Structure 1
């Protein structure tokens, strides 16, 4: 599957609708369609990186931007009491869409271990 085929790429190109909560030139955030918490937002880089393990040193600034925007999106969603950030990497890590993405979840007490 090429990046052109992922659901997230289609959301970036507006070929599939999404409830977008944040966007800038590098990233896009939208509400998860199958939320696992009262607040569940997906944050994706617009650059097609299949998984975290595929990020390169050239992606250094983008990776920092992604995490700083996760903090901002969580604050804008009212997650002042805390939130969880999850990045699944590869099939054994639970990744099902091969476009790097960050899950921002909150609005309830998170359990540990997660899975």
Structure 2
């Protein structure tokens, strides 16, 4: 073992910490609401109400939480315009844009295979 390798316990702890952080990121960007919001922001800036109206089934509270989480992770930017009433817009950051192709690919895959998944679920349920 070289000095650069470090103590095996330190290396394991560092790997475990990284694994945990990666899971945290995947939990955020892999949620159904985050995927949809990222996709909706693909074309450009959107206001809260525009996003809410384009994401069927999302509550105001869940959209607020999703936007805050994506903002905290640096994936979207929130801009408040100093007008009355205040106008707030959301857009993908440069980092968020790096996810757009992946998100769209995953959404497209789900759309392409939803019937196959439904059949598999039905067959599984029939066996159970």
Q: TM-score range by the shorter chain?
A: under 0.3
**TM-score, normalising length: structure 2:** 0.24
Q: More helix by proportion, 1 or 2?
A: 2
Q: More strand by proportion, 1 or 2?
A: 1
Q: Which has the higher contact order (CA 8 A, sep 6+)?
A: 1
Larger radius of gyration: 2
**TM-score, normalising length: structure 1:** 0.26
